[in-house]
Structure formats: C-alpha cells, structure tokens
C-alpha cells in the first residue's frame, strides 16, 4: 500500500495502538513509524499479524494482553502520549445475540481504559466509531454528524455510549479526544475469509469461484472507503481538538452490493455466483456519510476512489497469495 504523506504537525511521540495487528491498525503503525513516532502495539496473543513490515523497527514495541484486563491496559498505557482505540470484541450482525457481553467487554472495557488513560497522563484518545451503525435508519442523506442517533444493534449502541463517555471524560478530566465514525473500510490487508467486510468477502469468493450470499436483492447501499484514506484521517487526528470532536470518515458516495459485485467482475474478469437470500431486519437500506465537517475542520478528504482502491486490493492479493488466498 502507498505510504501516507505526513499529515500531522505533531512532534514525534509514543503512540499506543489498541488493535494494532488488525486491518486498520497495521498500516496505521507503519505510517506512524514513517513519521518518526515510537509506536506500541497492543493486541491479543492469539491474533495473527497481517504481514506487518514494522516488527524489526527499533521504534516498534509489542505489548500483548487482554483489553478487559486492568493490569494489561495499565501497563500498555505507561509512557504513551496518544492512544488509538481500534478494538472491538463484537460485530454488528452478532452483537444483538449477546448485548451483555457487548457492554461488559466494549463499553466497560473502554470506561476502564479512559480512567487509566487519565491516570497515565495520556494527551489524547482517538476512537474509531461506526458511521454505519450509530445513526440507524437515515432520515437525511448524506448523513451528517448532527443526524439523530438511533442504532438498531447493540454494536452501534455501545459505540455511541463510548462516544458519550469520551465527552464526559473530556469535561471532567480534560482528556482530549477525537471520534472518527468510519464508513466501511476496505483494501490491502483485509482478510477475505472474514465474517464482515463486503468488499473483501465478495472479492475472495469471486476469486475462489464460491457462491456469494446476498441478503435481500442486492440494493442495499453502503459507503466504502479505502484503508489508506482511513489512515490519513487517523494521522490528522493527532492534532489537538478544537470545538468539534466527532467526524464522519467515508467516501461521500454510495455503492449497492450489486454495484460492488459488478465492479469486482469488471476488474477481475471473473463471474460472481450470486445467491440472493431473504433480507435481514437490521440492515439499513441506504447509508452514505456526509464528510463536509472532516473536510472543513480536519482538512481531510478521501483521495482513493472505490475503483482505484479495488484495483489496489486485487493487485495486493495477486502478489501475496500466488498459492492461496488469505
């Protein structure tokens, strides 16, 4: 993946990346190291790294542990200036099956994190929220940050509650924060055998000549953003916050599931085997984010089109999976 340009004027510091072995965390760590930061990666011991190139970098530190462990998080925070919170223990489609676990692991775990961050003297927490779930059924399109928040899954409720606690800790303790409400990220490094991420899952199945289950008629529209643009937004968020703390991060454009498959077929030259199923009740029919606030306040804008991002993803898969797909 193309390395991000330096989009932050913040001097080199030590940043903690919670979930640093993941799809977004891995290129974020690479970008931070490229800018001269010392980076501490925190993740579970059993998480397989996504072929990270930074493991031998002298400014890279690995810290393994459990996000719900006070001792592990406290140790990870020590000596850090910034904390990127990319951890989530649940998925939107499965969170309603066990909302207690969702609250205990994600919400309570994050409140514990914020308490420890204040004690450790963290300057700022940057939290990745969900632009696809916190708003619920849209009453305005594209969806601005001022849109009503009526999530229809526990995952979105927990994300929204975390946002509120970040605001509370800012008010009570002066802890700076930025919330990035992401659209649907995709691109190099994303696992094609995963249980979420339509672009990656669809692409993997097309390349493996496997049938693709589509819930509904394929008309569900989502906002897809390339991972390189997500990393740019995260880097920009290192700057001290002004009046605004919450930002939508998306492409500003919508693509239906059928559009995604059409594009994959065009780029790969392969036919998708489409298996249409009954629609799911929790799927919002249309979700595209307004990104004007991020443009105006952060000076951020997406630079990679959906088609270009998909081409990069396919090329990456071809280079890294000559024998088998990830």
Q: How many helices (H) and strands (E) does the chain have?
A: 11, 13
- Quote the CA–CA distance of 201 and 197 in Å, as a whole number: 6
Tokens of 165: 């606690």
Contact 185, 230 (CB under 8 A): yes
- Quote the CA–CA distance of 277 and 211 in Å, as a whole number: 12
Residue 37 CB partners (closer than 8 Å, separation 6+): 12, 13, 14, 15, 59
Per the document, the length of the chain is: 326
Give the catalytic positions in this structure.
155
- Quote the CA–CA distance of 298 and 262 in Å, as a whole number: 33
């Amino acid at each position: 993946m193309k390395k991000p340009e330096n989009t932050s004027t913040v001097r080199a510091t030590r940043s903690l990346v919670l979930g640093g072995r993941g799809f977004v965390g891995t290129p974020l760590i690479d970008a931070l190291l490229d800018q001269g930061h010392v980076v501490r990666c925190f993740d579970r011991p059993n998480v397989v790294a996504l072929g990270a190139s930074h493991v031998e970098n002298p400014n890279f530190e690995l810290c393994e542990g459990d996000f719900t462990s006070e001792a592990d998080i406290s140790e990870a925070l020590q000596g850090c200036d910034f904390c990127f919170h990319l951890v989530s223990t649940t998925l939107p489609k499965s969170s309603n099956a066990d909302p207690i676990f969702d609250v205990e692991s994600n919400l309570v775990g994050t409140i514990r994190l914020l308490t420890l961050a204040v004690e450790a003297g963290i300057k700022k927490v940057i939290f990745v929220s969900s632009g696809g779930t916190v708003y619920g059924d849209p009453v305005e399109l594209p969806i601005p940050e001022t849109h009503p928040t009526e999530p229809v899954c526990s995952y979105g409720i927990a994300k929204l509650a975390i946002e509120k606690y970040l605001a509370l800790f800012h008010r009570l303790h002066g802890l700076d924060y930025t919330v990035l409400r992401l659209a649907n990220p995709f691109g190099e490094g994303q696992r094609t055998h995963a249980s979420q991420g339509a672009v990656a899952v669809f692409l993997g199945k097309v390349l493996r000549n496997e049938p693709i289950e589509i819930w509904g008629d394929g008309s569900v529209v989502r906002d897809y953003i390339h991972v390189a643009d997500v990393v740019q937004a995260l880097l920009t968020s290192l700057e001290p916050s002004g009046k605004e703390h919450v930002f939508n991060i998306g492409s500003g454009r919508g693509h239906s599931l059928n559009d995604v498959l059409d594009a994959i077929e065009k780029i790969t030259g392969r036919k998708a085997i489409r298996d249409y199923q009954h629609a799911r009740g929790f799927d919002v029919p249309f979700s595209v984010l307004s990104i004007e606030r991020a443009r105006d306040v952060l000076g951020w804008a997406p630079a990679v089109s959906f088609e270009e991002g998909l081409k990069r993803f396919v090329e990456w898969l071809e280079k890294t999976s000559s024998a088998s797909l990830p």
